[in-house]
Homo-oligomer: A and B are copies of this chain.
Amino acid sequence: MQNLNIKDIAKIAGVAPSTVSRVLNNRPDVNEDTREKILKIMDEYNYIPNNSARNLKIIESNTIGVLVKGIYNPFFSKIIQSIEEKIREKGYSMTLNYNYDDSNDIETAIELIKEKRLKGLVCLGGNFDDLDIEQIQSLSTPIVVASSNIIEKKNRKALSSVTIDNEKAAFEAVDYLCSLGHEKIGIITTGESDRSIGRLRTSGYKKALEKHCIEFDPKLLEIGEYTFDSGYDAMNKLLDKNLGLTALFATSDIMAIGAAKAVLSKGLSVPDDISIIGFDDIEYTSYFHPSLTTIKQPQEDIGHESVRILFEILQEKKKHRHIILETELVARDSCKAIK
């Protein structure tokens, strides 16, 4: 009863292992009676094939991998759904893997490709700037990176990417706040560890201020991380400085919600006292009260486009591409014109 393998099943059924393998893989060239008999035995003995053995032997699979950076990120969840949708539509199957924060993304990616003989891989987030181009190319398995920038020029021909223009989107957010008459605009952004995204969004903030002839005041900037309470704490710090803040740009919705809660908890109003704009458009923003104004990243498109590019490379032998999707300012109830 213990850990039967394909040989055991074959013996019990009185056939060769190869025949068992054929029914396992739904091959058409098996006699129906034989198939039924083997199926029945498998069921009766609770036979479960060993995937490692299968992966080892297989030349290529029909599966596309998805490698997600960070164990818990509501922003990625809708992207994953749209990726899965598209992969199924193409008749492939998907395998979802998570990647710890401290792991080397490109190495994990290659490991996964080799282990599961993937046809292609889409990575959500992660750092793909430090890589060996030849290694990637010799793999001949296309990788597309969604929602992370590939900065290194030379790497851009070895990978594809689907991103947004972070600086421009942040610019729009802050420009919107300025156009509403705000001048004392705080920012909660992510710090050092965030290699590019936080920096780009902060830069967009500064450029928008510049456009409106508002001088950047470092006291209005607080560093947070991707959590509610870092947004909450940062907002309290900002408020305690008594700088006459009337608006806030948070570089992620999660932090924006924490910040909004800090404002509301002090008995102040959003947006009457402080206007807040977030970034991402995760589902929670529309259920928060007041509903948060934010920069919508086209989560569904990011997923769909990533898969589309992957299949272009796979099936039409196209080259790696880098596309930038449009964001959109979604005006809800957390921002208000002043004066």
Contact assessment for A289 and B287 in the assembled complex, using a CB-CB cutoff below 8 Å: no
Contact assessment for A134 and B1 in the assembled complex, using a CB-CB cutoff below 8 Å: yes
Chain A 66-92 interface residues, beta-carbon cutoff 8 Å to B: 71-72, 74, 77, 80-81
Contact assessment for B71 and A287 in the assembled complex, using a CB-CB cutoff below 8 Å: no
Surface stretch bound by B, among A108-116, A159-167, A320-328: A108-116
User: Which of B53, B77, B135, B283 meets A56, CB within 8 Å?
Assistant: B53
Instruction: Select from chain B the residue with minimum beta-carbon distance to A113.
Output: B48
Given the complex, which residues of B lie within 8 Å of A81, measured CB to CB? 71
Closest CB of chain B to A259's CB: distance in Å? 10
A284 to B260, CA, bound (A): 13
Interface assignment of A243: CB less than 8 Å from any CB of chain B: no
Interface assignment of A55: CB less than 8 Å from any CB of chain B: yes
Given the complex, which residues of B lie within 8 Å of A265, measured CB to CB? 289
Contact assessment for A257 and B48 in the assembled complex, using a CB-CB cutoff below 8 Å: no
Contact assessment for A3 and B51 in the assembled complex, using a CB-CB cutoff below 8 Å: no
A135 to B107, CA, bound (A): 36
Contact assessment for B46 and A56 in the assembled complex, using a CB-CB cutoff below 8 Å: no
With most chain B CB atoms within 10 A of its CB, the pick from A46, A138, A264 is A46
Given A2-B138, A46-B132, 19 additional A-B pairs, CB 8 A: A2-B140, A3-B138, A46-B110, A46-B135, A52-B53, A52-B56, A53-B56, A71-B80, A71-B81, A71-B96, A72-B74, A72-B77, A72-B80, A74-B74, A228-B287, A257-B287, A264-B289, A288-B288, A289-B289
Instruction: Select from chain B the residue with minimum beta-carbon distance to A81.
Output: B71
Interface assignment of A226: CB less than 8 Å from any CB of chain B: no
Given the complex, which residues of B lie within 8 Å of A96, measured CB to CB? 71, 98
Given the complex, which residues of B lie within 8 Å of A49, measured CB to CB? 111
Known: A228-B287, A261-B287. A50 touches B115 (CB 8 A): yes
A287 to B139, CA, bound (A): 46
A15 to B111, CA, bound (A): 24
A261 to B228, CA, bound (A): 19
Known: A46-B132, A134-B1. A228 touches B283 (CB 8 A): yes
A72 to B289, CA, bound (A): 23
A98 to B132, CA, bound (A): 30
Interface assignment of A249: CB less than 8 Å from any CB of chain B: no
Closest CB of chain B to A113's CB: distance in Å? 9
A72 to B82, CA, bound (A): 13
A80 to B98, CA, bound (A): 12
Closest CB of chain B to A333's CB: distance in Å? 10
Given the complex, which residues of B lie within 8 Å of A55, measured CB to CB? 52
A320 to B135, CA, bound (A): 48
A159 to B115, CA, bound (A): 30
Closest CB of chain B to A59's CB: distance in Å? 12
With most chain B CB atoms within 10 A of its CB, the pick from A81, A258, A287 is A287
A258 to B288, CA, bound (A): 9
Interface assignment of A232: CB less than 8 Å from any CB of chain B: yes
Chain A 248-296 interface residues, beta-carbon cutoff 8 Å to B: 257-258, 260-261, 264-265, 283-284, 287-289
Q: 5 pairs across A/B with beta carbons < 8 Å?
A: A49-B111, A71-B96, A96-B98, A265-B289, A284-B284
Given the complex, which residues of B lie within 8 Å of A284, measured CB to CB? 228, 257, 284
